[in-house]
Structure 1
Amino acid sequence: MEFASSVSSASFLILVALMALAWLLKHANWYLYETQLDEEQRRSLPPGDLGWPFIGNMWSFLRAFKSSDPDSFMSSFINRFGRTGIYKAFMFGSPSVIVTMPEPCRRVLTDDEKFEPGWPVATEELIGKKSFVGISYEEHKRLRRLTAAPVNGHEALSLYIGYIEENVISALDKWSKMGQIEFLTQLRKLTFRIIMHIFLSSESEPVMEALEREYTTLNHGVRAMAINLPGFAYHKALKARKKLVAIFQSIVEERRNQKETKVYAKKDMMDALLEVEDKNGRKLNDEEIIDMLLMYLNAGHESSGHVTMWATIFLQENQEFLQKAKEEQEEIVKKRPPAQKGLTLKEFRQMEYLSKVIDETLRLITFSLVVFRKAKSDVRINGYTIPQGWKVLVWFRTVHLDPEIYPNPKKFDPSRWDGYTPKAGSFLPFGAGSRLCPGNDLAKLEIAIFLHHFLLNYRLERLNPECATRYLPHARPIDNCLARVRPLSSPSA
């Protein structure tokens, strides 16, 4: 009897101890971060949950985005705390505030006095502290002016339209003869060739293949937890970055030697980065040049490749929209003067319906689901306080899939853009404010040129049309869109 009583007492004490431990763990982040604030700050924090020590809400995030329902992550906040549009959380190693409504998103992205970049450790380490994700506002302004010129604006687009079209025509013809291909993989190679030409005047197949292979590994670590242990995505990505830096270092050294011996006459982004000086005459060092190249070459091919794939898939799955887009392209060709060879920028700007197709794809896919800022001082938004030093996650995906802004938001429907001008902060495929993606015009041009030739001459036959979608680091079919590209004159196999 006494033994049973002792066991019962011990079991009770263990249960109490476990409950106490669970309470302490559950409230550890609250103690570490919220108790450091004054009473007024604590009282005006957004609703939310800082989760467990160290990992915070990351397991919930990763679990959702590795499932078939990535939006369940934000839905859990909305269901528990209401549609406030702003929530506290612990993400990527930092106390954070997530914003999910247009006006707060616009405010965070455009107010450079109150907010600065706040990317996670993994992103800064992998993309580079000397790239746009890590440099100061003033340095960003200076380098953006320099580096945006070759990839945006009328002159730049006119310069590259012929090169892009030539490569698109060649690629589609090649793919149609290859049989079964990973459509996404081939598109990424195509867009990488284009960005390599713009930045490095290079078409070296071995160099491009080596770089593109390492970028694939790098991207799987950019949104991962910064755990530098074998088997983790971040550990593999760090190795990929090291290889990329080594390749870029050799390219930089070779270009410097060419310029010194005056055997190189072309002008590209590499030349601009080597020559630029600040007001004190200081030039960029190798680390700064390499980080800028690493960032631009990554951003310049990943988004274009993925969005082009999804636009092609959506059109192929929706024959009504495909036919309407095709008729527009046929009309453009029909009006072309007999002596004209190839697309012009004027024709690109006449592609009104295709532009809606691209915007709808950008909205539905939301290639970059979130960007990161950090509060420079306490900031009040929607009646809530974002404490100084806390990260701010602008959650594009929730904005783009908000049924109050876009009815039936998960349906691909280019006609929703007929006569519709989105309010500020409600359509953010390239961000907003001073750090708006500098390559947005080039990306849209690449996608439009590809779709122009695809619609006129080819169709896509997916081999696994029902295969699942993977959402990290970017949304893609798990088979990379295994398919055949068929000439329109070719009957189905």
Structure 2
Amino acid sequence: MEAIIPYVLALLVLPVSLSMIYFARKRDSYSSKLPPGTNGWPMVGENMNFALLGPQKFVSDRMKKYSPEVFQTSLLGEKMAVFCGAQGNKFLFTNENKLLTSWWPQSMKKALLFPSYVESSLKEVAALKRGFMHEILKPEALRQYIPVMDSMARQHLDTEWAPYKEVKVFPLSKKYTFALACKLFMSVEDPEHVKRLADPFILVTSGMFSVPIDLPGTAYNRAIKGGKMVRDELMKIIKERKKELMENKETAGRDLLSRMLQVTDEDGQFMNEMEISNNIIGLLVASYETTSTALTFVLKHLVEYSHIYSEVLKEQMQVLNSKGRDELLTWEDIQKMKYSWNVACESLRLTPPGQGAFREAITDFTYAGFTIPKGWKTFWTVHSTHKNPKYFQDPEKFDPSRFEGSGPAPFTFVPFGGGPRMCPGKEYARLEILVFIHNVVKRFKLEKAVKNEKTVVHASPIPTKGLPVRLLPHNQI
């Protein structure tokens, strides 16, 4: 009996071994189809490398080492495929809701949204899927905002710039863009009320992309607390406006908030108060962080390239001289600012405020011969095309003429994304940037106060000293 035990064990072990070999080979076969790359350290992934190298170098190094089309990494605790080049951008943009769906990191959702929405997919957050958001941010709907933008830009420069010989552009740009958003979205104008929203909101934007450790004293903990304070304040505003509407004390449609309270979906359902709050917070994040950064670096480039500044000044003075004294800007005036917008676009190419965006694979699919498994996250990034000599000759040169005529090749210039999920606030940002440029250059020539100020990149590029500039009013030059 004992003599046959080894044979019995062999018969038992053989199928198990064959099964293990089969599954190992299957796994290796599957893994061999995954995009090349590395997941970095356990738990940490490549977050540290991304932070130390900066987004541009992180992406370009891996494109050279692994693949210029798509590579894998691990960021924010997720396995991720980074799509590169114009074709990668096109693939992600055109397969929205087919192969991919929108995705936000859990850390960002916890800081911004009500707790009951944190586990929801972005599709389930009604505020982010309503078609009316695109409707009210179309150019024809935004025309009415231009005089308000102009008036507030004038007032901002009168109080925050003109009394001083030197100012810091970055913090003042943030102050202006946030105040303007509060005015246009919710008709909140009182400086103290704006400050009650701005102070905690700064905590949110400063910490929502930090290491997601929710312990007292961490940036992420402050972001979560700041998010709650912002939501509490917004709920007060929303409830008060709702009450005014019910009592017929509110002029219908005077701002974004009123329209949100009155719009219904295809089933005739109104958005609830938390959905409206989620929506406004999303708009505040977009209009505050990215637009203020864009404004800052447009002005930085105007300071650095005097011949570019001279051409912008010439165009803006032509607009100014075609108007009556103290007459506010109009849509027709904005359409005349073609060169100024080319300058802004070249600034957005060289120093894009946003680094890209995430998606989630809703099914297995292949790209460039590699398999992207269902559940993997994807990332498209401005840094695979904006400074790529394949798409932009002499890419480090500041050259607004790149945007004349038909402009860059499709899917190469993507500061606002593309496809169905293209940033709906693109036109809003364009108007805000051009109105602000008009008001600054018609009053001041700017000089750098810090010669070799560095730029660091967190969620957005940041001038380390805040971009201090000396103001030279035209009547004193």
Q: Tell me if structure 2 keeps the 8 A contact 1:147–1:269.
A: no
| Corresponding residue number in structure 1 for 2:143 | 158
Give the SS at the match of 2:144: helix
Distance (Å, rounded) in 2 between the aligned partners of 1:199 and 1:133 = 27
Q: Tell me if structure 2 keeps the 8 A contact 1:98–1:392.
A: yes
Give the SS at the match of 1:461: strand
**AA of the residue aligned to 2:154:** I
Give the superposed CA RMSD. 2.6
More displaced stretch, 92-101 vs 394-403 = 394-403
Q: What pairs with 1:2-401 in structure 2 (closer than 5 Å)?
A: 38-65=27-54, 70-81=55-66, 83-111=67-95, 112-128=97-113, 137=123, 143-154=129-140, 156-174=141-159, 175-267=161-253, 268-334=255-321, 336=322, 341-401=327-387
**TM-score, L = length of structure 1:** 0.85
Q: What pairs with 1:478-493 in structure 2 (closer than 5 Å)?
A: 478-491=464-477
Distance 1:138 1:59, change over 3 A: closer
Distance (Å, rounded) in 1 between the aligned partners of 2:251 and 2:49 = 53
Distance (Å, rounded) in 1 between the aligned partners of 2:368 and 2:416 = 24
More displaced stretch, 452-461 vs 240-249 = 452-461
Distance 1:456 1:142, change over 3 A: closer
Give the SS at the match of 1:97: strand
Work out the percentage of aligned pairs sharing the same amino acid: 25
Match for 2:395 among 393, 406, 409? 409
1:153-186 Cα offsets, whole Å, 9 max, x none, are: 22x2321111111111222232111344322111
Distance 1:105 1:131, change over 3 A: farther
**AA of the residue aligned to 1:456:** K
Shift of 1:137: 4.6
Q: Tell me if structure 1 keeps the 8 A contact 2:112–2:224.
A: no
**AA of the residue aligned to 2:332:** K
Distance 1:190 1:347, change over 3 A: same
Q: Tell me if structure 1 keeps the 8 A contact 2:59–2:384.
A: yes
Note the residue ranges of structure 2 that are not aligned, 5 or more in a row.
Answer: 1-22
1:251-294 Cα offsets, whole Å, 9 max, x none, are: 12222222233222252211222222233333222221111111
**TM-score, L = length of structure 2:** 0.88
**AA of the residue aligned to 2:168:** E
**AA of the residue aligned to 2:58:** F
Distance 1:143 1:390, change over 3 A: closer
Distance (Å, rounded) in 2 between the aligned partners of 1:282 and 1:420 = 42
Q: Tell me if structure 2 keeps the 8 A contact 1:370–1:393.
A: yes
Q: Tell me if structure 2 keeps the 8 A contact 1:372–1:394.
A: yes
Distance (Å, rounded) in 2 between the aligned partners of 1:465 and 1:141 = 44
Shift of 1:296: 0.8
**AA of the residue aligned to 1:58:** N
Distance (Å, rounded) in 1 between the aligned partners of 2:157 and 2:174 = 13
1:209-247 Cα offsets, whole Å, 9 max, x none, are: 122222222112232232212343222211110111111
1:405-458 Cα offsets, whole Å, 9 max, x none, are: 112223322122233532222111111111111111111111111112222221
| Corresponding residue number in structure 2 for 1:4 | none
Shift of 1:141: 9.4
Distance (Å, rounded) in 1 between the aligned partners of 2:315 and 2:217 = 49
1:84-108 Cα offsets, whole Å, 9 max, x none, are: 3210111111111011211111211
